[in-house]
Chain A
């Protein structure tokens, strides 16, 4: 990959990576650090990565940098622990988008990550599996469980629609 292509990857994907990490980790400074680290790693390997694989490489690197960070700093359990589902978003005027964002923060990290990769980036189960080191079936299960959990968290659909 040329320097120009590397720079194109910064312009094209830095915002998207940042958004993905920020949604996962919910800490602006940490998210910025993770993106910075990701691109440093990417730059070191830029002559070994083709432009066509760059997006996937960046998301994989950012995801694993985030997981490393969470393990070290936040001491989080990253297995598919069940969310404590207590239906009911506390808002006087519940709004679906607000409720969803709130619910997203409540589900397990792995479910959150795979759903965001699916919705934000439109990745297939297989591609998400490559990024997160999961099998295609596991990805599918996490997405299903995640969406079910989100639905239960946001509560009564009649109030929201």
Chain B
């Protein structure tokens, strides 16, 4: 015996110094396994662990066997070979061995084929029905422009209607009906998008109204939010002289509002001449949350401030945040409408 209780000390030293060959190392490890008192003594003195030694030299991998090490198939290992064949774990050589066995033992052919059928195919008809709840809203840059455009356009439309009415009679039936008709248009627009422009973990941002003067000395009403990352400019050329500039402000040098309100997002309404068409200057991911009707309200306030009409829009929502009622108000005029919704909407 290479190692025993009488000679182990010198051998262990060689072992710890890495002077033993692979078979001697195995003999030492087996000896330590069989003599735990000595193993404990060695470990406590040296701080050495068997695991560390394994990683430095001897590998258990060398003890592993594969199907190639089996020369003969019998009833005892036939099924294991069948499984290995269908798992594609066999080498060509082992496959040949299996085929020859099946050929010479045809009674096992059925069992061999059966293993090929012990497989489970995914059933594409099984579907997770709540997938819709898992999806997260993605607002594309183009769509975002629309989200920003629609409320201001709507606000200006309301204002135009308001102005038209003011020249005639606010309380006249015709004007009210027209306004209701336009409100229906707004409602159909908003229903599809739940009034959410974009979202952020911080929730909706408050906007503050302020006034300034543009390059052509036009009056600008600026509604500031924060966390801006985009700048988009929209011109509603058909409704002159009132134009709407809606943007999130990056503070970039070429941005007029960027210079003035760096790092602020704004929705601005200007009174002045502007010949530009609808223009998108930049679109990046926008993470702030702005409610659709909030934007309309702010836009309307902007128009009201410019025209000294004190226009205001009030909205009422249900528990789920869906619009229930809308009220347009100035010092001289008030229009209120409640929206009927199906309970399932």
Contact = CB atoms under 8 A, between A and B. Distances in A.
Is A bound to B?
yes
Interface of A: 3-4, 6-7, 10-11, 14-19, 22-23, 32, 35-36, 39, 43, 96, 100, 104, 115-116, 118-121, 140, 143-144, 147-148, 150-151, 154, 157-158, 160-161
Most buried by B among A15, A36, A120, A148: A15
B118 A100 contact: yes
10 contacts: A7-B138, A16-B122, A18-B127, A100-B120, A118-B87, A120-B120, A144-B84, A150-B118, A151-B111, A154-B118
Contact of B120 (A14, A35, A43, A104): A104
B138 A160 contact: no
A116 B128 contact: no
B8 to A, nearest CB: 32
B83 A148 contact: yes
A58 B87 CA distance: 24
A115 B83 contact: no
A143 B128 CA distance: 27
B63 interface: no
Given A148-B83, A158-B110, A36 B130 contact: yes
Given A3-B136, A18-B128, A43-B136, A143 B122 contact: no
Nearest to A5: B138
A80 B120 CA distance: 20
Given A100-B120, A119-B121, A10 B134 contact: yes
A17 B128 contact: yes
Interface string B97-124: 0000000000000110111011111111
Given A116-B120, A151-B115, A6 B130 contact: no
A32 B121 CA distance: 21
Contacts of B123: 19
Given A3-B137, A6-B136, 5 more contacts: A4-B138, A19-B126, A32-B130, A120-B122, A157-B114
Nearest to A104: B120
B29 interface: no
A116 B113 CA distance: 20
B83 A147 contact: yes
Contacts of B89: 140
Main secondary structure of the interface of B (DSSP, over half): loop
Contacts of B119: 119
Given A119-B120, A148-B79, A161 B114 contact: yes
Contacts, number: 87
B133 interface: yes
Contact of B115 (A32, A140, A143, A147): A147
Interface string B131-161: 1011111100000000000000000000000
Contacts of B80: 144, 148
Most buried by B among A4, A11, A148, A154: A148
A39 B120 CA distance: 25
B147 to A, nearest CB: 16
Nearest to B111: A157
B225 to A, nearest CB: 21
A144 B87 CA distance: 9
Nearest to A6: B136
Nearest to A22: B126
B65 to A, nearest CB: 12
B118 to A, nearest CB: 5
Contact of B117 (A36, A96, A104): A96
Contacts of A39: 134
Interface in B228-273: none
Contacts of A6: 136
B128 A35 contact: yes
B127 A15 contact: yes
Nearest to A96: B117
A23 B120 CA distance: 11
Contacts of B137: 3
B135 A10 contact: yes
Nearest to B112: A157
Contact of A11 (B110, B111, B118, B131): B131
Contacts of B84: 144
Contacts of A15: 124, 126-128, 131
